[in-house]
Chain A
Amino acid sequence: MSGDRPILEVRGLHKSFGHLEVLKGIDLAVRKGELVFVIGPSGSGKSTLLRCCNRLEEPSSGSILVEGVDVMAPGTNINAVRRRIGMVFQSFNLYPHLDALGNVSLALRKVVGQSRAEAELAGQAALERVGLAEKANSFPNELSGGQQQRVAIARALALQPAILLFDEPTSALDPELVGSVLAVMRELRESGMTMVVVSHEMRFARSAADRVIFMDHGLIVEQGTPEKLFNAPDHQRIKDFIASIEH
């Protein structure tokens, strides 16, 4: 029964900043194990959509369900829900005063309530998954951008989330470092992680995404398989957008 239920379900989501309506009614369901790719022009509301999902941004109306739990319901413990929704930011946002292992194990200790030993064991395992086991005791400023982003992914993974949200995870990276982060994301996908990815990495989208969503002006304009959206979209502005990015 719970197998059919979407991991993430967004219904009629609206979000305004003052008079500016940024999301104008978003409906979206993400199934278990699915990788949904979100593209769209700057300012179309992609980040806001992701940030509403874990309530870093307070939705104006609509509902958001994560594993069937209404994120907006008054009785919902948002901190418990956030454990189930990992988030990876464009600017990594690692804690500079903690080493990689400290970054990854902090929430395990303080949110999950594990002992230091347990948390470090689980944290070490998460670092291993992103290929950085030997960097456990390095501080963020001792790591390359690609390594920092992989630690950030490990930090989210360590909590064993049901879904991971990525907001332009490779946009702040030097081109030669992008591949290492995409490789980790690909590995996650293959291991069945549910993911929503906002990114301009079209090549990655073509090979890894189950579904691509094109947003513009706060609405989902079109969605479909990567082949459909990239090769034969129904809307001319998608063609224009993709052409503008691939150059």
Chain B
Amino acid sequence: MEQLVHNFFNFEILSQAWPLLLAGFWMTVKLTLVVVPLGLAGGLVVALASTSRRRLVRWLVVIYVDFFRAFPPLVLLMFIAFGLPFLGFDPGAFIAVALSFLLNTSSYYGEIFRAGIESITRGQHEAARSTGLSVPQTMVYVVLPQAVKNVVPDLVSNTLEVIKLTSLASVVALPELLYAARQAQSLTYNATPIIAAGIIYLVCLWPLVRLLSRFEHRQIALH
């Protein structure tokens, strides 16, 4: 028991590691603030493209989504960070992470938005079009507001996954929270920083999880 406390819940170690952890925390926040909006925007574009009248466009979307959902994000990130420089383009760690996350998460967000758009009945489109709204106007003012509302729980749930996935950035030496914690661990020969990082994730993500289960309860109540 004492061993456990010494190795995993050591306050002395924690205070030593704290500045490093804090820096890592802010990097994770920064990553999240870049990666989530990018993924949402990319996902919206993907979903809108999947409603295109052109079959070619819809096909390209299917290929894009299938590819990036099946391709491991870790490999994608490593390829972009370490492979692209050989092609004469070195994006740097942060951009590499942003780019690989855009490709990966936009395909997931895109599928969620698409499900939302498809949940809107034909009658809604027709009512809007019958008053003279164009196709894009119908999308923006009638379909999307309802579609997004219908999939908010899925968007929140996916966002939770994306935030946890930002720890992948450690493989390209971007000092986000988990990277910082591992660094602190190897400096102190103690696992406390890792536990601390875990607790920070827990505390930050818990409100989102609460929110999600509130949505889920409300949906059950509605049905």
Contact = CB atoms under 8 A, between A and B. Distances in A.
Interface of A: 54, 56, 79-80, 82-83, 85-87, 89, 91, 93-97, 106-107, 110-111, 152, 155-156, 159
A225 to B, nearest CB: 30
B130 A95 contact: no
B19 interface: no
Q: Which 8 pairs of residues, A with B, have the shortest CB-CB distance?
A: A93-B127, A107-B131, A111-B132, A93-B123, A87-B130, A82-B132, A83-B132, A79-B132
A110 B126 contact: no
Contacts of B127: 87, 89, 93-95, 152, 155
B133 interface: yes
Given A91-B123, A93-B123, A156 B131 contact: yes
Contact of A82 (B123, B131, B149): B131
A54 B130 contact: yes
Interface stretch (B94-102, B134-142, B179-187): B134-142
**Interface SS, A side:** mixed
Nearest to A82: B132
B146 interface: yes
B123 A110 contact: no
Most buried by A among B132, B145, B149: B132
A94 B123 CA distance: 9
B interface, by DSSP: helix, strand, loop or mixed?
helix
A54 B127 CA distance: 11
Given A97-B149, A110-B137, A56 B124 contact: no
A56 B130 contact: yes
B129 interface: yes
20 contacts: A54-B130, A79-B133, A82-B129, A82-B130, A83-B131, A86-B131, A89-B126, A93-B123, A93-B127, A95-B127, A95-B146, A96-B146, A97-B149, A106-B141, A106-B142, A110-B137, A111-B133, A152-B127, A156-B130, A156-B131
Nearest to B126: A56
B29 to A, nearest CB: 32
Interface of B: 121, 123-124, 126-134, 137, 141-142, 145-146, 149
Contacts of B149: 97
Nearest to A80: B132
A95 to B, nearest CB: 6
A123 to B, nearest CB: 12
A54 B123 CA distance: 15
Nearest to B130: A87
Contact of B132 (A56, A94, A107, A152): A107
A107 B133 CA distance: 7
A127 B137 CA distance: 23
Contacts of B137: 110-111
A96 B132 CA distance: 19
B124 A93 contact: yes
Residue among A96, A97, A155 having the largest count of chain B Cβ atoms under 10 Å: A97
Contacts of B130: 54, 56, 82, 85-87, 156
A106 B127 CA distance: 11
Contact of A106 (B121, B123, B129, B131): B131
A106 to B, nearest CB: 6
B134 A79 contact: yes
Contacts of B129: 56, 82
Contacts of A94: 127
Given A95-B128, A95-B146, A156-B131, 14 more contacts: A79-B133, A87-B126, A87-B127, A87-B130, A89-B126, A91-B123, A93-B121, A93-B127, A95-B142, A97-B145, A106-B141, A107-B133, A155-B127, A159-B132
A76 to B, nearest CB: 13
